[in-house]
């Protein structure tokens, strides 16, 4: 059924009636549904069986004949993955965390039927002495500002009607019928949106260059080849709100004069791929993709292209090569894709998160968008918060928020009262930022100024137990694997940097190794072909800049201050030992001796440093040193 312009409003009005409890300011408790159970069906929660939880709720509600009173909604990611599977019950926004399939019965009986929230299942931070906090009121959510993720956790991503009900495709309608392509580009430029895939290039300028490029055939591409370790921003947007990207790409097509788009997405994101396929199908059915969109005369088609798991294909020229069917290897720029991209035609490439901001900018105007964020980096940025932090998950914060706010206010700080050591931003291409720079505001220029980068949005927190040489080794291992192998400094240089780091971690570091590392790092930075190689050394250079003493300790004193590098540590039982024999019983190589109720001793020559003894010791008498 093709839609007309009027249908947008009709569908929105009809659908919004049935979405009266979605945890949004416009919620109407007296509307159609009396209660709503929102089940997170992002990848994290689904892998913890939230699909079964959803089914269980549906069965229970159907068996009780309450389908018309209680709705069960499958949504994208809420953000707090650490608490998953997450279920939220409206009205009230009761935040249930770590739910098992069997818990559904309890919530159904006590909360949905019995009106009494199940306190034992509620997320601990949402429980205060006075009241139960709604999901939107817990500290994790309170400090965030969701623009790209605006619909995640509120709508069913597999129903286009729900997207339409939440202002979906209204920006497209506005653009097609009341704006010229130049006006669209001017608005995006005025909004100051910058490429959120990490590059930070002004989006409006990129659109303008592609529009101005000569050629009748042009393409719009969405880079959904998210590959940083621990990053899942784009995946969550595509899983929770696929239509926003589709809408933005049609708008981009209109603005630059393209009629064909491609979404390049990694095949390792099966849920995102499936939801995109559904969304594209629905958009085609409604006439939002194809010929004569909404009767405007504008044509635009969209196809998916699945990547085969190469990190480098997130680099735009490698991505283009991959779509064309070639080996995913970058090429020199210029020419930039805006002039010669896919099959040599002018091509606009933006990443998922950048597109997700477009409908909002065009619907609400550039000025409104600029209210959030900083002067040079307006808007928000989504981060995947991970590592040694309490609230692991997805956060969206206004640009200019400090790292400290993200780590402590939103992230909840470091677990087990450990000391903060560093935060790694920008994925393998980024850098490690030490405690002294925690008050740096998050924006493209500030992060670059301190030797890191915005990157696609991975943010990994490290505490005193992380060895920074080991961290550099980890990232270099990743880069060595993911280098495409084309250019010398990256292919050969990263391998040798990795070997040097392994040698240092292994206690075999020699004087001069740091100089060798620096020389290789500089060469990779100066002479590599693409951004992957040019930034490959950032983890080494940034850790060397802030934590040089750790490198020196490894090389000169043959010790690992954080107690991570097994070749450099030994286990030792202190006087606190109570002689319980537990360590000796759990030692796989029987290298611990001692009598009952007497202090035990580890034979260091036989010890394989597995750490079992330290884990099982009831009085923390086993230490690494």
Residue partners of 49: CB distance under 8 A and separation at least 6: 85, 100, 101
CB 466 within 8 A of CB 418: no
> Please, which residue, 281 or 481, has the CB nearer to other proteins?
481
Token pair in block for residue 604: 């260091």
The one among 2, 404, 491, 582 contacting other proteins by CB under 8 A: 491
The one among 14, 212, 488, 574 contacting other proteins by CB under 8 A: 488
Positions in 517-546 near other proteins (CB under 8 A): 519-520, 523, 525-529, 534
**Segment contacting other proteins by CB under 8 A, of 145-153, 371-379, 397-405, 474-482:** 474-482
The one among 434, 489, 509, 563 contacting other proteins by CB under 8 A: 489
Closest CA relative to residue 242, chosen from 253, 234, 252: 234
CB 447 within 8 A of CB 425: yes
Q: How far is CA 201 from CA 206, 214, 359, 445, in A?
A: 8, 21, 19, 11
Closest CA relative to residue 151, chosen from 228, 236, 93, 225: 236
> Could you tell me whether strands 420-425 and 431-434 are parallel, antiparallel, or unpaired per DSSP bridges?
antiparallel
Here the contacts of 64-69 (C-beta below 8 Å, separation 24 or greater) are 64/108, 64/113, 66/112, 68/32, 68/33, 69/33, 69/34, 69/35
> Please, which residue, 439 or 499, has the CB nearer to other proteins?
499
- Residue 279 touches other proteins, criterion: CB under 8 A: no
The one among 492, 578, 579, 586 contacting other proteins by CB under 8 A: 492
**Segment contacting other proteins by CB under 8 A, of 59-67, 258-266, 477-485, 576-584:** 477-485
> Please, which residue, 143 or 486, has the CB nearer to other proteins?
486
Burial profile 548-571: b = 16 or more Cβ within 10 angstroms, e = fewer: eebbebbbeeebbbbbbbbebbbb
- Residue 486 touches other proteins, criterion: CB under 8 A: yes
Q: Which residues pair with 433 in a beta bridge?
A: 423
The one among 485, 556, 596, 598 contacting other proteins by CB under 8 A: 485
DSSP string of 364-395, one letter each residue: H-HHHHHTSB-SSSBSEEEEEEEES-SS-EEE
Residue with structure tokens 């780590």? 407
> Please, which residue, 176 or 531, has the CB nearer to other proteins?
531
# residues contacting other proteins (CB under 8 A): 33
Smallest distance, Å, CB 482 to other proteins?
A: 7
> Please, which residue, 412 or 493, has the CB nearer to other proteins?
493
- Residue 559 touches other proteins, criterion: CB under 8 A: no
Smallest distance, Å, CB 481 to other proteins?
A: 6
Q: How far is CA 59 from CA 53, 158, 353, 367, in A?
A: 10, 20, 36, 47
- Residue 332 touches other proteins, criterion: CB under 8 A: yes
| x-or-dash string of contact with other proteins, 312-331, rule CB under 8 A | x--------------x-x-x
Smallest distance, Å, CB 255 to other proteins?
A: 30
> Please, which residue, 496 or 609, has the CB nearer to other proteins?
496
Smallest distance, Å, CB 329 to other proteins?
A: 8
Backbone torsions φ then ψ of 395, nearest 5 degrees: -130, 145
Alpha-carbon torsion (374, 376, 382, 384), positive or negative: negative
**Segment contacting other proteins by CB under 8 A, of 45-53, 161-169, 442-450, 482-490:** 482-490
- Residue 483 touches other proteins, criterion: CB under 8 A: yes
Smallest distance, Å, CB 28 to other proteins?
A: 54
Residue partners of 599: CB distance under 8 A and separation at least 6: 573, 575, 577, 579
> Please, which residue, 332 or 416, has the CB nearer to other proteins?
332
Positions in 493-512 near other proteins (CB under 8 A): 493-496, 499
Q: What angle do CA 528, 535, 317 make, to 5 degrees?
A: 60
Closest CA relative to residue 38, chosen from 84, 86, 100, 99: 86
> Please, which residue, 180 or 567, has the CB nearer to other proteins?
567
Closest CA relative to residue 359, chosen from 222, 221, 167, 158: 167
- Residue 481 touches other proteins, criterion: CB under 8 A: yes
CA distance 60 to 451: 54
DSSP string of 155-184, one letter each residue: S-TT-HHHHHHTTTTHHHHHHHHH--HHHH
Smallest distance, Å, CB 222 to other proteins?
A: 24
> Please, which residue, 227 or 561, has the CB nearer to other proteins?
227
The one among 9, 119, 516, 548 contacting other proteins by CB under 8 A: 516
- Residue 190 touches other proteins, criterion: CB under 8 A: no
> Please, which residue, 78 or 478, has the CB nearer to other proteins?
478
Residues that bind other proteins (CB under 8 A): 310, 312, 327, 329, 331-332, 480-489, 491-496, 499, 516, 519-520, 523, 525-529, 534
């Amino acid at each position: 059924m093709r839609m007309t312009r009027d249908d947008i409003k009709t569908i929105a009005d009809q659908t919004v009636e049935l979405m009266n409890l979605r945890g949004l300011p416009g919620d109407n408790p007296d509307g159609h549904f009396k209660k709503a159970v929102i089940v997170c069906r992002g990848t994290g929660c689904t892998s913890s069986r939230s699909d079964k939880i959803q089914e269980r709720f549906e069965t229970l509600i159907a068996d009780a004949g309450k389908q018309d009173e209680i709705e069960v909604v499958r949504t994208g990611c809420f953000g707090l993955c650490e608490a998953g599977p997450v279920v939220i019950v409206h009205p009230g926004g009761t935040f249930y965390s770590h739910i098992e399939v069997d818990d559904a019965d309890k919530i159904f009986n006590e909360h949905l039927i019995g009106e009494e929230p199940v306190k034992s299942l509620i997320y601990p931070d949402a429980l205060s002495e006075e009241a139960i906090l709604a999901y939107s009121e817990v500290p994790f959510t309170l400090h965030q500002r969701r623009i790209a993720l605006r619909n995640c956790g509120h709508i069913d991503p597999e129903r286009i009607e729900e997207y339409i009900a939440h202002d979906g495709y209204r920006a497209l309608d506005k653009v097609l019928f009341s704006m010229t392509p130049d006006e669209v580009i001017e608005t995006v430029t005025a909004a100051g949106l910058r490429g959120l895939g990490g590059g930070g290039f002004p989006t409006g300028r990129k659109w303008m260059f592609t529009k101005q490029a000569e050629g009748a055939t042009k393409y719009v591409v969405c880079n959904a080849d998210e590959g940083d370790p621990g990053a899942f921003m784009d995946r969550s947007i595509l899983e929770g709100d696929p239509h926003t990207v589709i809408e933005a790409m049609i708008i981009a097509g209109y603005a630059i004069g393209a009629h064909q788009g491609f979404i390049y997405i990694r095949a390792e994101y099966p849920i995102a791929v499936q939801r995109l396929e559904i969304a594209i199908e629905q958009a085609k059915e409604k006439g939002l993709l194809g010929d004569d969109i909404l009767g405007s005369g504008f044509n635009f088609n969209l196809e998916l292209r699945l990547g085969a798991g190469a990190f480098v294909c997130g680099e735009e020229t490698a991505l283009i090569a991959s779509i064309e069917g070639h080996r995913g290897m970058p090429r020199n720029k210029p020419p930039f894709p805006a002039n010669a991209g896919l099959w040599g035609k002018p091509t606009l490439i933006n990443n998922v998160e950048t597109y997700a901001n477009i409908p909002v900018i065009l619907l609400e105007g550039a000025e409104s968008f600029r209210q959030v964020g900083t002067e040079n980096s307006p808007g928000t940025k989504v981060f995947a918060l991970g590592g040694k932090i309490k609230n692991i998950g997805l956060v969206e914060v206004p640009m200019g928020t400090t790292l400290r706010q993200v780590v402590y206010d939103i992230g909840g700080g470091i677990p087990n009262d450990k000391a903060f050591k560093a935060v790694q931003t920008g994925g393998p291409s980024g850098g490690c930022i030490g405690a002294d720079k925690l008050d740096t505001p998050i924006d493209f220029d500030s992060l670059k100024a301190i030797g890191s980068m915005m990157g696609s949005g991975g943010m990994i927190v490290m505490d005193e137990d992380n060895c920074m040489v080991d961290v550099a080794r980890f990232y270099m291992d990743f880069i060595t694997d993911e280098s495409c192998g084309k250019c010398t400094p990256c292919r050969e240089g990263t391998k040798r940097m990795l070997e040097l780091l392994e040698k240092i971690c292994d206690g075999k570091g020699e004087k001069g190794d740091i100089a060798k590392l620096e020389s290789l790092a500089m060469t990779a930075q100066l002479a590599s072909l693409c951004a992957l190689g040019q930034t490959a050394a950032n983890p080494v250079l940034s850790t060397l800049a802030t934590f040089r003493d750790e490198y020196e300790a490894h090389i000169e004193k043959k010790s690992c201050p954080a107690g991570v590098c097994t070749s450099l540590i030994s286990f030792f039982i202190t006087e606190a030992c109570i002689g319980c024999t537990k360590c000796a019983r759990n030692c796989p190589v029987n290298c611990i001796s001692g009598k009952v109720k007497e202090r035990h001793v580890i034979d260091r020559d036989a010890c394989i440093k597995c750490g079992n003894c330290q884990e099982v010791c009831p009085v923390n008498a086993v230490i690494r040193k």
